[in-house]
Amino acid sequence: MSVHIKHISWHLPEHPVTNDWLHQENPAWDMAKVEERAGVKTRYVAASDQTALDLAETACRKLFDEYDLDPKQVDGLIFCTQSPDYIMPPNACVLQKRLKLKEELFAFDFNLACSGYVYGLALARGLIVSGMASRLLLVNADTYSRYIHPKDRSTRVLFGDGAAVSLIEAAEDETGIVDMLCATSGRNFDAFMIPAGGCRTPSTEETRTAVVGGSGNVRSEENIHMEGMRILTFVNSKIPKQIRALLKKNGLEVDDLDYLVFHQASKMALDSLIRILKLPPEKVPVNVDRIGNTVSASIPILLGELMAAGKLAPGSRILMCGFGVGLSWGSAILRF
């Protein structure tokens, strides 16, 4: 049985934060260098009373309306987020209530970041192939802005908030997910993390106090800590190997692919992958400049844009790859 992505819808907050706006607030920030390295010109930030769950609900309602779908036909809901509304219950259960989905379905969250779409597809595929579901929603949504100190240049310029939802179904033909590979490097967990605020290091006045780091960035132990060069080294060493292995396993070459849809980490990361893998730039679509790094929603939003623009004709073949927090990474080949 083949499993495919039938439809994708997405939603971004209404508030765009441009580089000009950031420079007005932080005159010392070199925004030309930001564009050169991160590649981001605009990112969208959720309102103070708007959560990843709210963004996800809007994306799901768009999906139902745009494709005239009956919510009662959904029999599974998978929600990938690192910014849930509550410690408990899961966002998926609250979303089931808001969307008035039937009770006879499974709904759960899982905690991953930029590899979350590929891992979510793996979960969806397994549930459908096993017969536990036939039509499910894969939701990817985050509001990393909640975890970013406004004076931390390294993260504030890069990340944007957003949500995407994919309708995953069994396919009657050979379209859909061809093959996947996933991997983890837990020994590097501290390269990208929020050190405090969880059960290991509970929130205190000290962990909430922001300090100025050696690079001039301001953050507390309850803000995102990202070692950019360490992450880039990970991307350069691990991602090309996995992509080559997946292509070889399936008897394919880069020339056999129409697009390589990467997690929109940053311009620097994407440029490195293009260089190392010797990829034609026209096969690597980019939207990080327009919406920033939207974490696990970045791949489905970019894929949804390609689908909406009619760029994935029947027979098109793509490779997608997500990588980030964990450290975790995964790649998948899909045929349309």
Residues identified as active-site:
114, 263, 293
* Cβ-Cβ contacts under 8 Å for 310 (sequence gap 6 or more): none
- What the block records as the tokens of 326 is 């964990």
